[in-house]
């Protein structure tokens, strides 16, 4: 216990120290929200990765989908690396950085407002972000509490409040730069932590081959009658597994807290480096989490499932797997999940506060907000957002509303479903219209809210928030061009101005482009 507490105190001390150190970089809006648009590739890549993967992944998703699909759940981590990281950086990174700087937009709603010439579109995007980031934040606290309860036997409410206060301190003090530096440290912890934990869990089962053999011998007639289905390549339910891959991989393309990382990239070389670093990070962390969760059924004797669901729910799978590890490894796990959760929480509260300040309050509610006042309002809203999410997390826990994965599915589905297509087409296609953006916003928000309250009325495949969210994302890619084709084209001068930033000529190395000379 002394070792665990000591490691936590060192961890918290470093996080807060970095926040205080970075105060000098958080005196204006550009510095507080984007780190002055001068963040290097390692910090940006790790900030992207650590915002991507949290306790939701390690505890909620790895446990639930590892139990449902066995070792095939590793495909989710592979999809996260290839689609959610590699392709996201390659397709969105450069264009996002160029156009957002040209339009002087620091947030995703501000991008929509300036790219499509609509103040109401900016306000609507702000409201969607604030509303649907809250259930995601609540899911972060829930996952962390399970591991803290296992390691320290601490009340859930205490875990939530301590994590929220400490995260708030360093984000309020140092803004994006403090978040990015802390994310880098937390990312290193996550990489080494997941490798150590996987090794220890497999060793406890006699090694990889023995564990895989044990998994092959397990059968569940409620899932499939096929022998060895949990150790098979695609698992017992490939179609629903594909829905998870789409939601958790393609979803990052439309999440404001993820896309905003591209705003802060310094130059072209750092886009390429960041793409490689974040992809490798995702392979290790996401692939490792889902790979670990795939062996959850080896602990059936401790989980005592009833009607196919483990006692304590799917969120109990990973903590049960880890409960027999040595104290030093449990301490590593706690720091690992704490790192993942705090990095994601810091990204969420910074995104939410900057969005509300710059896109909703500024010039709409509060007139003549200078730089200093905007930063002060953002800091106050960080406190408010954290307080609301803490209260909701405790209420959700005590009333046992839903599983972690379902909370995240609702949040990701609404946000990415609403924003992915308008943002992607806005970067690449001049013909995308304001009306198409509105339809995408309303469609996804309505579908995901309906999925919460009238889930039974949905087709069976879409009753899962995961599949409903994936459906909204894919539907948006069809809705935007379809509605754009039947609505009035955007104002030519507005579009030409937005896309003029891509026409600027720059000098590059010949390894990147062939010259005209012999």
Residue 488 lies in a domain: no
Distance CA 491, CA 503 (A): 19
How much is the pTM?
Answer: 0.85
Q: Is residue 132 classed as helix, strand or coil in its secondary structure?
A: helix
Residue 500 lies in a domain: no
* Token digits of residue 93: 């990174």
Residue 179 lies in a domain: yes
Confirm whether 436 is domain-assigned. Answer: no
User: Per-residue DSSP letters for 333-349?
Assistant: HHHHHHHHHHHHHHHHH
Fill in the DSSP letter of residue 236. Answer: S
Residue 487 in domain: no
Whether 245 is in a domain gets the answer yes
- 312 within domain boundaries: yes
Q: How far apart are CA 238 and CA 240, in angstroms?
A: 6
What the block records as the tokens of 392 is 């909701």
**Dihedral of alpha carbons 284, 290, 296, 298, sign:** negative
Cα distances from 99 to residues 93, 119, 395, in angstroms, run: 10, 18, 41
Q: Are 222 and 307 in contact (CB under 8 A)?
A: yes
204: part of which helix (H) or strand (E)?
A: helix 156-204
pLDDT of residue 419: 95
Answer left, alpha or beta for residue 36, where phi above 0 means left and psi between -120 and 50 means alpha: left
Asked, for residue 70, whether it belongs to a domain, the answer is yes
pLDDT at 444: 94
Number of domains observed in the structure of the chain: 1
- Collapsed DSSP state (helix, strand, coil) of residue 362: strand
Residue 433, class by beta-carbon neighbours within 10 Å (0-12 exposed, 13-18 middle, 19+ buried)?
A: buried
Collect the ranges in the chain with pLDDT lower than 70: 1, 4, 26, 35-38, 55, 142-153, 363-364, 396-397, 399-408, 508, 510-518
Range(s) of the domain holding residue 365: 2-400
Check residue 518 and give its pLDDT. 47
Burial state string for 230-254 with b = 16 or more CB within 10 A and e = fewer than 16? bbbeebbbeebbbbbbbbbbbbbbb
- For residue 143, which of 382, 281, 345 has the smallest C-alpha distance? 345
Q: Assign 3-class secondary structure to 398-443.
A: HHCCCCHHHHHHHHHHHHHHHHHHHHHHHHHCCCCCHHHHHHHHHH
Whole-angstrom distance, CA of residue 251 vs CA of residue 84: 7
- So what's the pLDDT on residue 431? 93
- CATH number of the domain encompassing residue 269: 1.20.1730.10
H or E, element range at 273 = helix 268-293
d(CA 234, CA 236): 7
Give the Å distances, CA to CA, from 470 to 245, 279, 457. Answer: 9, 21, 18
Cα distance between residue 91 and residue 184, in whole Å: 23
Provide the 8-state DSSP code for 224. Answer: B
pLDDT 10s digits, 120-139: 998 899 889 888 887 777 77
């Amino acid at each position: 216990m002394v070792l665990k507490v000591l490691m936590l105190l060192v961890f918290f001390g470093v996080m807060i120290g970095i926040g205080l150190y970075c105060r000098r970089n958080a005196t204006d809006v550009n510095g507080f929200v984007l780190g002055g648009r001068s963040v290097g590739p390692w910090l940006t890549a790790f900030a992207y990765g650590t915002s991507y993967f949290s306790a939701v992944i390690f505890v909620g998703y790895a446990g639930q989908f590892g139990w449902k699909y066995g070792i095939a759940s590793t495909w989710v981590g592979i999809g996260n690396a290839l689609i959610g990281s590699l392709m996201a950086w390659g397709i969105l990174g450069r264009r996002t950085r160029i156009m957002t700087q040209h339009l002087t937009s620091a947030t995703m709603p501000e991008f929509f407002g300036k790219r499509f010439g609509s103040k109401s579109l900016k306000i609507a995007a702000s409201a969607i972000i604030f509303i649907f980031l809250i259930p995601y934040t609540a899911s972060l606290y829930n996952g962390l509490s399970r591991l803290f309860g296992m390691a320290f036997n601490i009340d859930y409410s205490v875990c939530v409040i301590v994590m929220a206060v400490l995260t708030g301190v360093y984000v309020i003090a140092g803004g994006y730069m403090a978040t990015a530096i802390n994310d880098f440290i937390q990312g290193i912890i996550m990489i080494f932590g997941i490798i150590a934990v996987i090794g220890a869990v497999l060793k406890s089962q006699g090694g990889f081959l023995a564990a895989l053999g044990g998994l092959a011998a397990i059968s569940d007639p409620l899932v499939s009658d096929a022998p060895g289905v949990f150790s098979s390549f695609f698992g017992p339910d490939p179609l629903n597994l594909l829905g998870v891959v789409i939601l958790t991989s393609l979803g990052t393309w439309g999440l404001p807290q993820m896309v905003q990382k591209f705003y802060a990239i310094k130059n072209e070389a750092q886009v390429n480096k960041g793409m490689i670093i974040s992809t490798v990070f995702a392979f290790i962390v996401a692939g490792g989490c889902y790979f670990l969760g795939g062996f959850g059924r080896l602990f059936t004797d401790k989980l005592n499932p009833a009607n196919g669901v483990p006692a304590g729910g799917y969120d109990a799978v990973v903590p049960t797997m880890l409960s027999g590890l040595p104290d030093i490894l449990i301490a590593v796990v706690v720091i690992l999940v704490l790192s993942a959760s705090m990095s994601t929480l810091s990204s969420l509260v910074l995104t939410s506060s900057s969005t509300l300040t710059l896109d909703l309050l500024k010039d709409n509610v509060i007139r003549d907000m200078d730089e200093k006042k905007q930063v002060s309002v953002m800091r106050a809203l960080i406190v408010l957002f954290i307080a609301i999410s803490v209260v909701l997390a405790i209420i959700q826990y005590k009333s046992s509303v839903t599983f972690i994965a379902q909370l995240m599915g609702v949040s990701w589905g609404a946000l990415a479903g609403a924003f992915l297509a308008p943002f992607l087409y806005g970067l690449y296609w001049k013909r995308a219209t304001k009306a198409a953006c509105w339809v995408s916003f309303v469609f996804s928000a309505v579908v995901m809210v309906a999925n919460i309250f009238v889930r039974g009325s949905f087709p069976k495949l879409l009753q899962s928030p995961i599949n409903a969210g994936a459906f909204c994302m894919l539907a948006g890619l069809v809705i935007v061009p379809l509605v754009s084709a039947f609505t009035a084209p955007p104002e030519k001068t507005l579009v030409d101005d937005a896309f003029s930033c891509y026409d600027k000529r720059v000098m590059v190395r010949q390894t990147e482009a062939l010259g005209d000379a012999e």
